[in-house]
């Protein structure tokens, strides 16, 4: 260790904590992070901790550094050095036992992480108990160490040991020491008297050990720890930690058939908690209410089966959870929803259906609580946008709980409650606020999925009641959405269609209700399309006029609505209907795109794009089932629209505002009309090539991808056309890439490789045996230097498909396939030849991205790709990897680490342990990046 290094660390810490210069602070922080990764940090950290005049920040940094070094770099130390480190840490911890707690905690963590990795140290728990367990000063250190040891053993996934090694160390450090530790905790709790500090540490330690899953919870049957935990609830200083430990104890008893004796000790203790819960509610002490709720809910979820079996014996739990659900704090109420969901699922099962009636009372009260919580606050206009969104989300969560109530009580009983409440409120409408009326209406909508379509008792009353509601926009909005939700019911009750259609239509006159009306019209037209065929003549003028006044999102929903009706009219009338609804849209579109470009600003282009979106919806939804070979009215209509679509393409096809909705029109025609579109494929392909050539926008490649997926099945008549399309688009892509960097057009790169992968998937022989495959492969190599995740994912997918061709015949053959084994063999040979030629560069580029800049979410994909390459070319893969790793600078990777990685990697390949190949690579990359880069 050099004194210069110590001075540099102290200077950096001084800058970090004392400088007023934000840049200096940032630079100091970065330097200290890098220093912690150096080998010299071991000695410097040890020195700083022992330095007499070191301040708190310095000693804390030194303790954190030792913990990080132990976590990530313990392999740098010889066994002898590890023993020395252990002894030094124990000495430092003893010296810190009465000092700054944060430093003591970091040292406990360091010792715990050392114990987990230091296999030769089998007596860590005993050694700490011997050193720290004999004095009151050492008790806090010992309990902290035992707590963090259990937590690190369970949760610290950064420690570089395998699952098997972790299991072995857990057995030595945790499982074998459970009896001793439990006895120690009992001793401390019995001798603690009024020492709440020690009691708190005992409870925290107990919670951590319970969470390991290695403690036999039956030890608590006769232990004073159980009563102490519940007793701590009456002590303000211990309340929170007592809640934690009680919840852990209950969780561990969820296997109720095994722990009946302990549950019989636990359950009676809840009787004493009901009154404190009510008192906390009355005092509006939300923190304390939350604590009580956690315990009741934990018990409810753990004992849900016994509750279903013996509801009369668990009345206290049901009562407590009901109190929690009824509480006015809407942050606490959702905590109960999972219990009600799980209890409902148990009760409606065949085994427990006979007990349903015993729960009507608590579910009846639950419906009342939920409807009350559904009320919008009186000061709703003062809520921020975020608060309104959160409250809307919460209402939908409560709606799910209302569905649970329907399953238990029957939908009819649940529907009657809001209906009765509405009847009561409207008996004195002047005394009821809109919030009071809107909440039960919303509850009716929430229950929709549980109401059968043939329900004839309550639903008719509800539908007739809608006309009696006050004409307040918030109330009408909610009522309109009730119609929307029950459109499936209306399908079986056609007598309500006319009334509902008129009710919805009237809502468009109010700007606050229009969005609900658009959604309701869409659902009504979708579910009741056959019932509305006779209304087409009325829908036409309504549609033409209304779309000129609505916001875009509402226009889309209304367009979907009329499209659903047109989709079921007689085929002979389909073309006329499309013309009457669509041609006015096409005329408005034509009026814009025929103008001189200089006169068409952003607003007009946006309008034109919106009109194209409307047209695309007709193509998406109106697709009658017509035999191939029979004239298709939608294809005829598409032909009629082509002139205006061509104007869009030729005049504005290079603007995303036009190109994207135009391409959605093309995509919807492909997916809706399939083989009927075949005669127009050459023209459509020409348009895609022209559009992409002019604009270089990835959206044209996206449509080409959809087209190839639909029409390029190997052996089909269209596969050659699809291949020629990809060839032409490839020439444009390669030309584009020669003049631009890949990271300037990541969307084009992504869509191009999705396109080529689709063709490779559908027609592998044609692609692999063509001259196209090599330039695509090489373009992919350049793309591996991208950082954009979606583009990289598309490139990886292309290479994985190629590798699968080389690895597996089965992945290439499909039923009714025209491929021959000879072709499959030739394909594999070609793939092997490509990877032999470019494999060195391929691995180098992947490895460069892995250790420097690829997002963490991509590492598993890259590891899987390299694993497949190792399967395909094991010898070459090992040689390429050796060359790459040996090229790392020594300061980035020591010779021993280099040798260890290469030996492990090569051995895994030779032994064909492909899962291990992936794991070895992932572990190496994680360690390398932590040490040599700042990327998180």
**Does the pLDDT at position 906 exceed 50?**
yes
Give the side-chain half-sphere CA count within 13 A for 698: 16
- Whether the per-residue pLDDT at 818 is higher than 70: the answer is no
Q: What are phi and psi of 121, to 5 degrees?
A: -90, 90
Please report the pLDDT score of residue 917 as a whole number: 79
The residue among 28, 31, 99 whose CA lies nearest residue 63 is: 99
pLDDT of 921: 82
Give the residue with greater pLDDT, 247 vs 816.
247
pLDDT at 709 over 90: yes
Mean per-residue pLDDT for 672-682? 94
Average pLDDT over every residue of 189-217: 94
pLDDT tens for 731-765 read 999 999 888 888 899 999 999 999 999 999 999 99
Listed in sequence order, the residues at least 6 apart from 198 whose beta carbon sits closer than 8 Å to its beta carbon are 139, 140, 143, 188, 192
296-315: average pLDDT:
95
Burial class of residue 894, CB neighbours in 10 A (0-12, 13-18, 19+): middle
Question: pLDDT-derived band of residue 821, with 50, 70 and 90 as boundaries?
Answer: very low
pLDDT recorded at residue 823: 58
Rg for the chain (alpha carbons), in Å?
Answer: 35
Residue with token string 């148990």: 346
581 compared with 922, residue with greater pLDDT: 581
For the residues 442-458, what does the mean pLDDT come to?
96
Residue 344, pLDDT above cutoff 70: yes
Give the confidence band of 318 by pLDDT, cuts at 50, 70, 90.
very high
pLDDT digits (tens, 9 = 90+) for 523-578: 999 999 999 999 999 999 999 999 999 999 999 999 999 999 999 999 999 999 99
Query: Does residue 882 or residue 932 have the better pLDDT?
Result: 882
Measured distance between the N- and C-terminal CA atoms of the chain, rounded to whole angstroms: 29
Q: At what angle do helices 602-621 and 633-652 cross, to 10 degrees?
A: 160
pLDDT at 933: 60
The answer to whether residue 812 scores a pLDDT higher than 50 is no
Give the largest CA-CA distance in the chain: 96
Whether the pLDDT of residue 822 is over 70: the answer is no
Torsion sign, CA atoms 777, 783, 784, 789: negative
What average pLDDT score do residues 649-677 get? 96
What would the pLDDT profile of 140-190 be if each residue is shown by its tens digit? 999 999 999 999 999 988 888 878 889 999 999 999 999 999 999 999 999
Nearest to 318 by CA among 443, 329, 310: 310
What gap in Å lies between CA 477 and CA 198, rounded to an integer? 58
Eight-state DSSP code of residue 145: H
Give the angle subtended at the CA of 541 by the CAs of 535 and 543, to the nearest 5°: 85
Residue 1 has pLDDT above 70, yes or no: no
Question: In the structure, what pLDDT confidence band is assigned to residue 809 with cuts at 50, 70 and 90?
Answer: very low
pLDDT, position 29: 93
Q: How many whole angstroms separate alpha carbon 310 and alpha carbon 308?
A: 6
CA distance 132 to 129: 5
Q: How many angstroms separate the CA atoms of 135 and 519, rounded?
A: 72
SS (H, E, C) 290-359: HHHHHHHHHHHHHCHHHHHHCHHHHHHHHHHHHHHHHCCCCCCHHHHHHHHHHHHHHHCCCCCHHHHHHH
- 435: number of Cβ within 10 Å: 15
Name the pLDDT band for 932 (thresholds 50, 70, 90): low
DSSP-assigned states of every residue in 699-744? HHHHHHHHHHHHH--TTSTTHHHHHHHHHHHHHHHHHHHHHS-GGG
Distance between CA atoms of residues 752 and 758, nearest Å: 10
Which of these ranges, 191-195, 247-251, 513-517, 837-841, has the smallest mean pLDDT?
A: 191-195
Residue 37 scores a pLDDT above 60 = yes
Helix (H) or strand (E) holding 586: helix 571-593
Predicted pLDDT at 113 = 97
Instruction: Give me the helix-helix angle, 163-173 and 101-117, nearest 10°.
Output: 120
Q: Band of the pLDDT at 815, cuts 50, 70, 90? A: very low
CB 524 within 8 A of CB 561: yes
The pLDDT confidence band at residue 934, using thresholds 50, 70 and 90, is very low
Angle CA 837–841–845, to nearest 5: 150
**Over residues 490-500, mean pLDDT:** 96
DSSP codes of every residue in 58-115: HHHHHHHHHHHHHHHHGGGS-HHHHHHHHHHHHHHHHHHTTS-HHHHHHHHHHHHHHH
What confidence tens digit (pLDDT) does each residue in 240-265 have? 999 999 999 999 999 999 999 999 99
pLDDT of residue 891: 67
Alpha-carbon gap, residue 387 to 853, rounded angstroms: 38
Place 899 in a pLDDT band, splitting at 50, 70 and 90: confident
| pLDDT value, residue 157 | 83
Average pLDDT (862-889) is 87
What's the chain's average pLDDT? Answer: 92
- Statement: residue 817 has pLDDT above 80: no
Under the banding of pLDDT at 50, 70 and 90, the label for residue 928 is confident
Position with higher pLDDT, 137 vs 407:
407
Mean pLDDT throughout 292-319? 96
Residues 242-281: b if buried by 16+ CB within 10 A, e if exposed = bbbbbbbbbebbbebeebeebbebbbebbeebbebbeebb
- Which of 422-436, 614-628, 875-889 is the most confident on average? 614-628
**Minimal CA–CA distance to 646: which of 601, 678, 680, 673?**
680
Residue 412 burial class via C-beta count within 10 angstroms: exposed 0-12, middle 13-18, buried 19 and up: middle
The average pLDDT across 827-838 equals 92
- pLDDT over 70 (residue 715): no
Distance CA(799)–CA(781), nearest Å, equals: 10
Q: Who has greater pLDDT, 483 or 431? A: 483
Of the candidate ranges 298-307, 796-805, 902-911, the one whose mean pLDDT is the lowest: 902-911
CA-to-CA distance for 87 and 108, rounded, in angstroms? Answer: 13
Q: What integer is the mean pLDDT of 20-26?
A: 91
The label of the residue with tokens 């926008």 reads: 697
| 347-364 pLDDT, tens digit each | 999 999 999 999 999 999
In terms of pLDDT, which residue wins out, 381 or 719? 719
Asked whether residue 277 carries a pLDDT value surpassing 80, the answer given is yes
Q: What is the pLDDT of residue 175?
A: 96
Is 70 exceeded by the pLDDT of residue 804? Answer: yes
Burial 738-764 (b: 16+ CB within 10 A, else e): eeeebeebbebbbbbbbbbbbbbbbbb
Can you tell me the mean pLDDT for 679-690? Answer: 96
């Amino acid at each position: 260790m050099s004194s210069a290094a110590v001075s540099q660390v102290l200077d950096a810490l001084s800058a970090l904590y004392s400088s007023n210069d934000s840049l200096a602070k940032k630079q100091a922080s970065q330097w200290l992070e890098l220093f912690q990764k150096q080998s010299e940090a071991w000695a410097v950290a040890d020195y700083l901790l022992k330095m007499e005049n070191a301040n708190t920040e310095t000693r804390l940094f030194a303790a954190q550094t030792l913990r990080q070094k132990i976590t990530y770099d313990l392999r740098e130390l010889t066994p002898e050095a590890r023993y020395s480190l252990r002894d030094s840490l124990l000495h430092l911890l003893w010296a810190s036992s009465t000092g700054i707690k944060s430093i003591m905690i970091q040292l406990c963590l360091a010792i715990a992480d050392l114990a987990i990795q230091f296999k030769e140290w089998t007596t860590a728990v005993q050694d700490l108990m011997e050193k720290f367990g004999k004095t009151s000063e050492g008790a806090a250190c010992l309990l902290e160490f035992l707590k963090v040891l259990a937590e690190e053993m369970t949760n610290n996934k950064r420690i570089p040991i395998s699952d098997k090694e972790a299991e072995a160390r857990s057995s030595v450090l945790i499982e074998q020491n459970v009896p001793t530790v439990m006895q120690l905790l009992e001793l401390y709790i019995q001798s603690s008297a009024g020492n709440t500090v020690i009691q708190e540490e005992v409870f925290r330690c107990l919670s951590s050990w319970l969470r390991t899953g290695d403690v036999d919870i039956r030890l608590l049957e006769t232990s004073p720890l159980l009563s102490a935990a519940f007793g701590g609830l009456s002590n303000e200083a211990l309340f929170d930690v007592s809640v934690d430990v009680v919840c852990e104890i209950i969780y561990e008893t969820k296997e109720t058939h095994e722990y009946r004796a302990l549950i019989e000790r636990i359950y009676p203790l809840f009787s004493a908690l009901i009154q404190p819960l009510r008192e906390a509610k009355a005092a509006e002490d939300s923190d304390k209410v939350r604590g009580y709720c956690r315990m009741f809910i934990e018990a409810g979820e753990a004992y849900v089966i016994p509750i279903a079996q013996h509801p009369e014996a668990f009345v206290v739990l049901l009562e407590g959870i009901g109190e929690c659900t009824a509480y006015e704090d809407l942050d606490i109420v959702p905590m109960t929803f999972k219990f009600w969901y799980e209890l409902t699922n148990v009760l409606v099962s065949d085994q427990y259906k006979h007990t349903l009636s015993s729960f009507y009372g608590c579910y009846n009260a639950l419906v009342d609580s939920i409807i009350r919580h559904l009320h919008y606050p009186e000061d709703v206009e003062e809520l921020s946008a975020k608060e309104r969104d959160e409250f809307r989300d919460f209402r939908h969560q409560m709606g799910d709980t209302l569905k649970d109530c329907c399953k238990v009580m029957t939908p009819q009983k649940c529907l009657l409650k809001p209906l009765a409440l509405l009847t009561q409120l409207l008996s004195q409408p002047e005394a009821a606020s809109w919030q009071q009326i809107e909440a039960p209406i919303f509850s009716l909508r929430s229950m929709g999925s549980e109401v059968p379509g043939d329900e004839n008792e309550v639903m008719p009353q509800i539908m007739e009641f809608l006309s009696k509601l006050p004409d307040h926009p918030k109330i009408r909005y909610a009522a309109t959405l009730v119609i929307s939700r029950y459109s499936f019911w209306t399908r079986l009750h056609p007598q309500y269609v006319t009334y509902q259609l008129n009710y919805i239509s009237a809502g468009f006159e109010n700007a606050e209700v229009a969005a609900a009306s658009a959604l309701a019209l869409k659902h009504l037209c979708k579910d009741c399309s056959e019932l509305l065929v006779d209304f087409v003549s009325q829908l036409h003028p309504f549609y033409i006029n209304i779309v000129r006044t609505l916001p875009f999102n509402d226009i889309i929903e209304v367009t979907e609505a009329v499209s659903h009706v047109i989709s079921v009219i007689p085929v002979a009338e389909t073309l006329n209907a499309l013309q009457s609804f669509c041609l006015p849209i096409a005329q408005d579109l034509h009026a814009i795109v025929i103008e001189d470009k200089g006169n068409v600003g952003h607003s007009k282009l946006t309008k034109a794009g919106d009109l194209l979106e409307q047209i695309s919806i007709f193509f998406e939804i109106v697709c009658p089932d017509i035999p191939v070979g029979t004239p298709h009215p939608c294809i005829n209509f598409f032909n009629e629209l082509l002139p205006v679509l061509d104007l869009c393409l030729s005049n504005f096809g290079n603007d995303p505002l036009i190109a994207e909705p135009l391409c959605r029109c093309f995509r919807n025609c492909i997916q809706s009309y399939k083989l009927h579109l075949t005669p127009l494929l050459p023209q459509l392909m020409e348009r895609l090539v022209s559009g992409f050539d002019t604009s270089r926008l990835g959206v044209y490649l996206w449509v080409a991808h959809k087209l190839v997926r639909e029409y390029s099945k190997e052996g089909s008549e269209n596969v050659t056309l699809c291949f020629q399309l990809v060839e032409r688009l490839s020439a444009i892509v390669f030309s584009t890439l020669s003049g631009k960097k890949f990271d300037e057009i990541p969307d084009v790169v992504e869509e191009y490789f999705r396109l080529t992968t689709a063709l490779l998937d559908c027609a592998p022989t044609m692609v692999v045996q063509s001259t196209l495959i090599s330039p695509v492969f090489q373009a992919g190599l350049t793309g591996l230097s991208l950082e954009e995740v979606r583009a990289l994912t598309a490139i990886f997918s292309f290479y994985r498909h190629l590798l699968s061709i080389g690895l597996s015949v089965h992945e290439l053959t499909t039923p009714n396939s025209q491929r021959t084994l000879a072709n499959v063999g030739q394909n594999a040979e070609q793939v092997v030849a490509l990877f032999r030629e470019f494999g060195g560069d391929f691995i180098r580029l992947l490895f460069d991205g892995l250790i420097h800049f690829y997002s963490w979410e991509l590492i598993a994909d890259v590891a899987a790709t390299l694993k497949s390459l190792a399967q395909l070319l094991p010898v070459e893969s090992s040689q390429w990897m050796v060359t790459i790793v040996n090229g790392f600078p020594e300061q980035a990777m020591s010779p021993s680490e280099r040798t260890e990685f290469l030996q492990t990697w090569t051995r895994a390949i030779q032994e064909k342990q492909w899962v291990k190949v992936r794991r070895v690579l992932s572990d190496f990359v994680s360690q390398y990046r932590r040490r040599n880069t700042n990327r998180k």
